[in-house]
Amino acid sequence: MGHYTGPKARINRRLGGIIFEDAGARKAYENRDFPPGMHQRRRKVTDYGIALTEKQKIKYYYGLREKKLRRYFEKAKHIKGNTGENLMILCERRLDNVVRRAGFCSTRPQARQGIVHGHFCVNGQKVDRPSYLVRPGDTITIRNRPNLKKLYAELAQAPRQEGGTGWLGFDASELQATGHFPDRRTSACRSKSTPSWPSCRGSTTIEIHTKKPRTLSRGPRLFLRLQLVSKPSDASRTHLHDHSRTSATGF
């Protein structure tokens, strides 16, 4: 499955966040936290634009393409529970994401490269697919190669940009990680005390936007809007619509 290999600093600036964790991309966003390009025009943000931006954040953050993200969404719809939480759990269970969060690598592209080259084993078996979904209780280790163990031991001792996760145990001395994913039937995922899960910061809402295809050979495109806060009430929503209508007419 292909992945994005273009400029990373522009993506961070365009989407307004540290999506790519490379030092250059992170520093570029910290120095200029505004969209790239000359003569930026102030545009009114629509619901369609917000949905597209949130979907692009998921795609670039986890290194997905449109087809792969659609497969995850179709799979999440058939899992019992909240569709938004199920979608984020599937993305978090990817092997390249687990390797990155465990501390073996500093970025997800680096983790993807190591997995493709066969540096990691799951339950003692070599796995070279970054999209492999880690199950609860699976153990991720380094292949028994002295050069690989030395390399990842140095990477594991490097300072981490993000904190640890409550659902992933990592032993730096043994270079071993174990996944303890919470059961979706419990309320562990919905607890605010576990900020490591993207879907735990408030109620998650998935909105689907379909765009009419230009040709018959191309299907409708999927747009996801991940809202990590509670829905506004009907009264506040009506107030916002009245305010926008008043400001547009000038009265």
Question: Residue by residue, what is the 3-state secondary structure of 70-124?
Answer: HHHHHHHHCCCCCHHHHHHHHHHCEHHHHHHHHCCCCCHHHHHHHHHCCCEEECC
pLDDT, residue 73, reads 92
- Which DSSP helix (H) or strand (E) runs through 162? none
State the Cα–Cα distance between residues 229 and 202, nearest whole angstrom. Answer: 5
Q: Is residue 99 part of a domain?
A: yes
pLDDT, residue 43, reads 75
How many domains would you assign to the chain? Answer: 1
The CATH number of whichever domain residue 126 belongs to comes to 3.10.290.10
Q: Is residue 186 part of a domain?
A: no
| Structural Rg of the chain based on CA atoms | 20
Burial of 186 (0-12, 13-18, 19+ CB in 10 A): exposed
108 and 97 in contact (C-beta within 8 Å)?
A: yes
Q: Is residue 117 part of a domain?
A: yes
Q: Is residue 170 part of a domain?
A: yes
228 and 198 in contact (C-beta within 8 Å)?
A: yes
The residue segments making up the domain with residue 113 are 94-180
Q: Is residue 232 part of a domain?
A: no
Q: Is residue 237 part of a domain?
A: no
Residue among 131, 126, 123 nearest 143 (CA): 126
pLDDT, residue 221, reads 54
pLDDT, residue 50, reads 86
pLDDT, residue 139, reads 94
Q: What are the residue ranges in the chain where pLDDT is below 70?
A: 1, 160-165, 181-251
Q: What are the φ and ψ backbone dihedral angles of 176, each rounded to 5 degrees?
A: -140, 135
Q: Is residue 39 part of a domain?
A: no
Burial of 70 (0-12, 13-18, 19+ CB in 10 A): middle
State the Cα–Cα distance between residues 225 and 40, nearest whole angstrom. Answer: 24
